[in-house]
């Protein structure tokens, strides 16, 4: 079976079904962290790089990914999700 690009709605379903994730904002942030090239879908490359960072990334890579998922960056400061 060939890998197809994953759209936001399909990725939300994947996160919900696999990890019981229900917070839409968090699911969108995880999508954004995986979609590094910001083309609106997760390609095979995005998927492999995202999982690699989650599972085997350095502390710096995991920290950057976590900030992408849990905050909105505006200018030179970080606004936490409320």
Does a structural domain hold residue 2?
no
Does a structural domain hold residue 3?
no
Q: Residue 35: which of 49, 24, 23, 21 has the closest Cα?
A: 49
Helix then strand then coil, % of the chain, to nearest 5: 60, 10, 30
pLDDT tens, residue by residue, 61-81: 888 877 777 665 555 555 555
Tokens of 71: 């905050």
Does a structural domain hold residue 71?
yes
pLDDT tens, residue by residue, 31-65: 888 888 889 999 989 988 888 888 888 988 888 87
Q: Whole domain around residue 58: which residue ranges?
A: 8-80
Q: Per the structure, how many domains does the chain have?
A: 1
């Amino acid at each position: 079976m060939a890998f197809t690009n994953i759209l936001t709605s399909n990725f939300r379903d994947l996160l919900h079904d696999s990890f019981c994730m229900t917070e839409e904002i968090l699911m969108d942030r995880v999508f954004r962290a995986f979609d590094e090239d910001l083309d609106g879908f997760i390609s095979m490359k995005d998927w492999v790089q995202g999982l690699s960072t989650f599972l085997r990334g350095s502390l710096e890579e995991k920290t950057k990914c976590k900030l992408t998922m849990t905050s909105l960056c505006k200018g030179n400061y970080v606004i936490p999700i409320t």
